[in-house]
């Protein structure tokens, strides 16, 4: 079983205007959102059951948890004294406006409860996925504490961090990030530079490092390095892969580990989940569509 973490879940109220001049609402919907929630809902569309560990506020927290339950997602949570985020999205033909409440405040008592509840949620889990934590009141050291708890409970953990500088001392089982995350200070032009950058994580104990970009993904392990990319000649729709979603790529990799796929197949699934939005309509996403994309993924060992 996969456990997706969401440390800043929100409830979204979306309104689509029929006539902006008269402010007439044509359609509306309410749904839960957040990095971990999105990953879990994506996995559900592929026929994979998972659980979400979330920080649950009062009224909005109950609404988020109930919405997930109605969508077939099991929830583990720790209660917060403050409220979760509420976001109002107003869309028209030519514009989009977003309004949101402030992030919840995290007390010292909340911090302790988060770690205790997180550890309890690890029962019967094969892998934990920790996406970027966008809750400002949680410091970067939360990653180290969560990863340590996973290792103590012999559960694999995959991380997409908000601060790569912290990862060298944390050593998650899987580390995945975007190439642009390492280009803040220096432009990376060559594959060899990415591999060299990955070495420090591998040498400090991380088993697998994925570095994603629109053109290709570089994968480093203790023994080998790989380059994975979409071979457009094998696709019916030969459009450019302008979008790569690292969160969904990590979700796909977690699915592969949960299902115990071999390493190359796992890479192909991770890449396909990252790029699917370039090729498939959102309402048509399912495992059969992902498998078609997987057939176009090339994985090459870098000597």
Regions in the chain scoring below 70 on pLDDT: 20-21, 185, 237-241, 283
Residue 208: CB atoms within 10 A of its CB come to 23
pLDDT computed for residue 206 by the predictor:
96
pTM over 0.85: yes
Mean pLDDT of the chain: 92
How many residues are present in the chain?
A: 303
pLDDT computed for residue 185 by the predictor:
67
- Spatial distance between the Cα atoms of 211 and 218, rounded to a whole number of angstroms: 5
pLDDT computed for residue 124 by the predictor:
95
Asked if residues 86 and 57 have their Cβ atoms less than 8 Å apart, the reply is no
pLDDT computed for residue 20 by the predictor:
66
SS3 5: strand
Sequence-ordered strand ranges (E) for 57-95: 74-79, 85-91
* C-alpha distance from residue 247 to each of 66, 128, 130, 175 (Å): 23, 13, 10, 12
pLDDT computed for residue 282 by the predictor:
72
Q: Please report, to the nearest 10 degrees, the dihedral formed by the alpha carbons of residues 211, 212, 215, 217 taken in order.
A: 50
Kindly list the domain boundaries of the chain, sorted by start residue: 2-7+39-83+106-302
pLDDT computed for residue 239 by the predictor:
62
Q: Please report, to the nearest 10 degrees, the dihedral formed by the alpha carbons of residues 219, 155, 45, 27 taken in order.
A: -100
CA-based angle 295:231:247, to the nearest 5? 75
2-7+39-83+106-302: CATH architecture: 3-Layer(aba) Sandwich (3.40)
Q: Enumerate residues 6+ apart whose C-beta is below 8 A from 215.
A: 229
- For residue 247, which of 143, 177, 301, 300 has the smallest C-alpha distance? 177
| pLDDT, tens only, 186-203 | 788 789 999 999 999 999
């Amino acid at each position: 079983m996969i456990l997706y973490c969401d440390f800043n879940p929100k409830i979204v109220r979306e309104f689509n205007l029929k006539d902006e001049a008269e402010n007439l609402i044509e359609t509306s919907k309410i749904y839960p959102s957040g990095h971990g929630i999105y990953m879990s809902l994506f996995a559900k569309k592929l026929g994979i059951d998972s659980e979400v560990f979330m920080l649950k506020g009062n009224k909005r927290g109950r609404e988020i948890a109930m919405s997930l339950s109605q969508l077939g997602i099991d929830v583990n949570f720790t209660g917060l004294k403050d409220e979760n985020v509420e976001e109002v999205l107003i869309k028209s033909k030519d514009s989009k406006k977003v309004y949101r409440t402030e992030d919840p405040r995290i007390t010292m008592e909340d911090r302790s409860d988060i770690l205790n509840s997180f550890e309890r949620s690890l029962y019967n889990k094969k892998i934990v996925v920790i996406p970027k934590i966008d809750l400002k009141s949680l410091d970067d050291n939360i990653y180290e504490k969560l990863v340590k708890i996973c290792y103590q409970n012999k559960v694999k953990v995959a991380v997409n961090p908000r601060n790569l500088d912290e990862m060298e001392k944390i050593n998650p089982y899987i580390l995945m990030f975007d190439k642009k995350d390492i280009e803040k200070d220096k432009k990376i032009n060559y594959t060899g530079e990415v591999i060299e950058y990955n070495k420090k994580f591998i040498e400090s104990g991380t088993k697998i490092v994925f570095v994603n970009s629109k053109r290709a993904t570089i994968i480093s392990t203790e023994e080998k390095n790989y380059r994975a990319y979409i071979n457009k000649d094998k696709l019916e729709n030969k459009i450019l892969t302008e979008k790569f979603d690292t969160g969904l790529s990590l979700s796909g990799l977690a699915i592969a580990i949960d299902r115990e796929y071999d390493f190359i197949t796992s890479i192909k699934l991770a890449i396909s989940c990252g790029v699917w939005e370039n090729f498939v309509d959102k309402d048509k996403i399912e495992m059969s569509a992902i498998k078609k994309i997987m057939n176009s993924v090339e994985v090459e060992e870098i000597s």
